[in-house]
Each structure stands twice: as C-alpha cells, then as structure tokens.
Amino acid sequence: MRPKVDPKATAIRRLELSRPIKLAMGEGLVTPERTFFDYGCGLGDDVQRLRKLGITADGWDPGHRPDADLREASVVNLGFVLNVLATEGERRAVLKRAWSLAGDVLVVSARLSHDRRDLEGTDHRDGIVTNKGTFQKFFEQTELRSLLQETLGTEVLSAAPGVFYAFRNEALRQSCLAQRQHRRVAIPKVRRSEQLFEQNRELLEGLMAFYTERGRLPDVTEIATAGEIAEKFGSLRQAFAVVKRVTGSEGWDVIESARCADLLVYLALARLSGRARFSELSTQLQLDIRAHHGAYTRACEEADALLYSAGSIERVFELSEEMTFGKRTPDAFYVHVSTLPSLPPLLRIYEGSARHYVGHVEEANLIKFHRHRFQVSYLTYPLFEKDPHPSLAESLIVALDVLTICHANYRERDNPPVLHRKEAFLDPTHPLYPRFATLTAQEERRGLLDDTSTIGTREGWNERLRTTEYVLRGHRLVRQRAADALGKHLPTPLSFE
C-alpha cells in the first residue's frame, strides 16, 4: 500500500530567519539593494521578517500561498523543498523553475543523510514517509551538488552542509569567494599629532578605512570624498602620506601584505570551481588584483603554485611545525577557528579546499588538519569559552581524497571527549589566552595533566579530579579543604561560572 503523503504538513513556524537565508545575508547576498523571492515559502515567516528588515521580499508556496504570483528576483531561495519531493523528475523541474526566476543567485538547501538520525518513518522510493505523513529525502553532499550542477548547467558554491549557491552573476560569485578570504584588520592608531591631520581628521579617516579594507588607495570613483581630498592635499597619495606620518607605516605594510595574501588564497580556491576571466570580475576586485599583483596572469600563476603545494601533506605539516600556536599530535594539527586568517596561505588553502566542498560549518570552533590523510575535521565544542574542559558535541570530517563527509553526534553520549590546554588552540593575542594558560599551569603543577592516556574523556577527567584534593571553580583550581572551610558550595568538577 502506498503511504499517504501530505506536502502541506512539512511547513513549520519559524521564530527566526531560516539557516540558508541567514547564511546568504552573512555573505552579503541578501541585502536591501536586491529583491528576494522565496520559492516554496511555507507559511511565509522568512518573507515577513525580511520585509521588516527593509528588503523587498515575496514568496509562493503550492500548499499555503498557491495564488501568489511567481516573480523574478535578484535572489531566489529554494529552502528545503527538494527533500519533500518524492521523484527526481519533480526535483529537477522545481529546480529549473526556481532558477528561471533568479536574476543573480539561487540559494538551494536540502536535508542531508545525517539529519535523519532517529527520525521514524516508512521507506518510500529514495526516502521515507514520516509519522507526520511527510515525505523526506536525505541527500549526501556530493549527491546534492551533482543534482544541482547537472540540472542547472552551472558550477555551484557550497555555503554550508546542505546549502548551495548557484550564480547567474559571475562578478557576484567571484566577489563572494574573495570576501570569504578577507580577514579583518584594525585601523592603525594615530601615534602623534599633526595640525594638517587634525584639521582634516574626518576626511582622512574615510581614506584610512578604505585602505584598511582593501590594502590599497582607492580609485577616484570608489570614494565619494576623492575630490575634496584632492583639493585639500593635492592627491589621494599625498593625503595618505600625511596619514603615514601620524600613524607610522608599519601597520599599513601589514595590511597590504594581508590583502595580498587574501587575494592569492581566493584565486587558488577559485580554481577548484573554475576561475573567472579577468573581465568577469567586479571592478573593485580588478583594481585589487592590479594594485597587489600587477597582472592577473601573474597572480593566477602564483596562486596555482600554492594550490599545488597544498596537495603535499608533508609540506602542510612542515608549516604547522613552524606555527607559534595550535596543538600538535602525532596524527594531527588543531587550531581554533579564530586563528584561520592568521595561518599561512598554504594552510588556509588546505582548509579552504574542505570548505569549498562542505561550506561553512556554523557551530564548529576547532579545526583539525589530519596528518596521514587528506582530511579536515570541524569540531564543535559549544562551551569552549566558558567550560574549563568542554565536551565535544559534534564532528564533521571532510575527506578530500574521496570527497565525502562523515558526521558524528556526541551530544547524547555519556562519556564524550573533553579538551585540555585550551590556550594551545588560540593565538597568544586572543583575549582568553591568559585565563586558559593560567589554569593549565595550575593543573600542570598539581600533576593533573601528567598521564594524558586516561583524561581524554569526561569520566576519565572527573576520576582524575576525584583522586586529588582540588576542584574546579570556573577557570580556577581550588583546594577542596579551603573551600569546605569557607562553607561555600562549589560546582561539580566540570561545572563553570
């Protein structure tokens, strides 16, 4: 007997924007300057929230808004629609219809195989019919990518596991790729006063902000105050000379080098999905490349050499040995996600190759570079900052040699792995580094970290603490007797403030 399916039952009420739309907003694709259309909008919660943000948005749904018009828009969202369609023919037809409406980019999301977990239902075709009467198809990442590329006839860009962008606007695609490699750098501080600078501070601060963002002087078409600056200083270059006199040139040299490296990482990773012609890039990106690398061909050649080098695990781990931060084991090198922009370009390309395949893993905060296989793991420790020894909640392994992902959920496990020496994962300039390092020094002095073979899990670590006269209070190791004498209630060994 064929199971009964109710497509309308898949729609749910949302208390916030859906994950794919939040991702697209974070990458600068959904903005008030671009129109938005939600194909398969369900109850329309995303549309309503976007309108409140000043975005021109509309939507259509076969079950809940069947009379709404199908409209072309700069950005079209096909959110978790493909997984409720029971045949591949239906999926391809819907993809083509949604693609025909997209002026700049189509955002597509679907559920992946690890989303099934304990979901109960009856097998039907290539999915299941749930107990709620909804059909659900669970894709593999590669399967979903192939379906999109074969149906739409274009390369797609991974945004996150199960979320992809398909671009009609090549300049927008390249800008999105480049922005992913754009690290944040602080504007150098004014170190000494100068009358000419102080008289024109507001004007020059706009120039400083632009240079910090791009690592170069703007073209006269890129900054609204170019004419006023030229009138007061003679040219943008002469104005910036005044800036360097009061701030020093060292910080600006660092920014320029950072932007130069960011472009090489972008160009290397762009090769994985087909590098654009120079004429297809945005004007701003063209100016960036000319300023930092001279010729596009020269920049691409240098990027290709880096991409080739990233294929050598030996070279990758030679670099990791030179790092002043990161945890090293015989089998891997670990860093906190905050350190990614500070890694050498080669390591950024190695990790970027994994992210090119899987997209952004939103909650992951540690990254593991495997030493003996082309694999990158994204590890999620939700309480990394607060818990002195946080538990692993999830891991996602991206196998670059076979292009597969493996997801593991530790949230319900009684004895998950826990972390020690948290400062090792951070750059020493991180604000939490001193607190973490102080705790590690305390634990080392008391011998708590001597035998690492038994303390890698929650139970093992708790047992180690029970054999000592110490307990943890936040990121402090406290003698139990002193705490008892004060009559204070202390948290259990793994609790935190």
Q: How far apart are CA 211 and CA 256, in angstroms?
A: 8
Does the structure show a pLDDT above 70 at 490? no
Q: Is 261 exposed, middle or buried (0-12, 13-18, 19+ CB in 10 A)?
A: buried
**Can you name the residues that pair with 395 across neighbouring β-strands?**
379, 408
| Among 14-23, 267-276, 380-389, 479-488, the least confident range | 479-488
Does the structure show a pLDDT above 90 at 479? no
266-316 pLDDT per residue, tens = 999 999 988 999 999 999 999 999 999 999 999 999 999 999 998 888 888
User: How many CA within 13 A on the CB side of residue 434?
Assistant: 2
Structure tokens at 58: 């509309």
Measured in whole angstroms, the distance separating CA 173 from the mean position of its chain's CA atoms is 16
Of 305 and 1, which is predicted with more confidence? 305
Structure tokens at 297: 């061909």
Quick check: 38 and 58 in contact, CB under 8 A?
yes
In which band, very low, low, confident or very high, does the pLDDT at 445 lie, cut at 50, 70 and 90?
very high
Residues 6+ apart with CB under 8 A from 476: 439, 442
pLDDT for 68 equals 94
| pTM of the entire predicted model | 0.87
pLDDT for 262 equals 96
Q: How far apart are CA 240 and CA 208, in angstroms?
A: 8
In which band, very low, low, confident or very high, does the pLDDT at 493 lie, cut at 50, 70 and 90?
very low
In which band, very low, low, confident or very high, does the pLDDT at 4 lie, cut at 50, 70 and 90?
low
Q: How far apart are CA 37 and CA 98, in angstroms?
A: 9
Q: How far apart are CA 144 and CA 157, in angstroms?
A: 12
Of 312 and 496, which is predicted with more confidence? 312
**Helix and strand counts by DSSP (H, E) for the chain:** 17, 17
In which band, very low, low, confident or very high, does the pLDDT at 483 lie, cut at 50, 70 and 90?
low
| Among 189-193, 280-284, 373-377, 453-457, the least confident range | 189-193
Span 325-334, average pLDDT:
92
357-367 pLDDT per residue, tens = 999 999 999 99
Q: How far apart are CA 419 and CA 437, in angstroms?
A: 13
Does the structure show a pLDDT above 50 at 1? no
42-91 pLDDT per residue, tens = 999 999 999 999 999 999 999 899 999 999 999 999 999 999 999 999 99
Does the structure show a pLDDT above 90 at 95? yes
Does the structure show a pLDDT above 80 at 265? yes
CA torsion, points 298, 301, 305, 311, in degrees to nearest 10? 140
Q: Which amino acid is at 390?
A: P
Span 244-264, average pLDDT:
94
Q: What are the DSSP calls for 396-462, one per residue?
A: EEEETTTTEEEEEE-TT-SS-BB---GGGGS-TTSTTHHHHHHHHHHHHHTTTTS-GGGSSBHHHHH
Q: How far apart are CA 191 and CA 88, in angstroms?
A: 64
In percent, the amount of the chain with pLDDT more than 90 equals 75
385-425 pLDDT per residue, tens = 999 999 999 999 999 989 899 999 999 899 999 999 999 99
Quick check: 21 and 77 in contact, CB under 8 A?
yes
Q: What are the DSSP calls for 202-252, one per residue?
A: HHHHHHHHHHHHHSSPPPTTT-TTHHHHHHHHSSHHHHHHHHHHHH-SHHH
140-165 pLDDT per residue, tens = 999 999 999 999 999 999 999 999 99
Measured in whole angstroms, the distance separating CA 225 from the mean position of its chain's CA atoms is 34
pLDDT for 494 equals 44
Pairing between β-strand 470-473 and β-strand 476-479 as defined by DSSP bridges = antiparallel
pLDDT for 254 equals 93
Query: Positive or negative CA dihedral for 273, 278, 279, 282?
Result: positive
Does the structure show a pLDDT above 50 at 497? no
Q: How far apart are CA 222 and CA 210, in angstroms?
A: 9
116-125 pLDDT per residue, tens = 876 778 877 7
DSSP state at residue 392: P
Residue 2: count other Cβ atoms within 10 Å of its Cβ: 6
In which band, very low, low, confident or very high, does the pLDDT at 476 lie, cut at 50, 70 and 90?
very high
19-30 pLDDT per residue, tens = 999 999 999 999
Does the structure show a pLDDT above 60 at 489? no
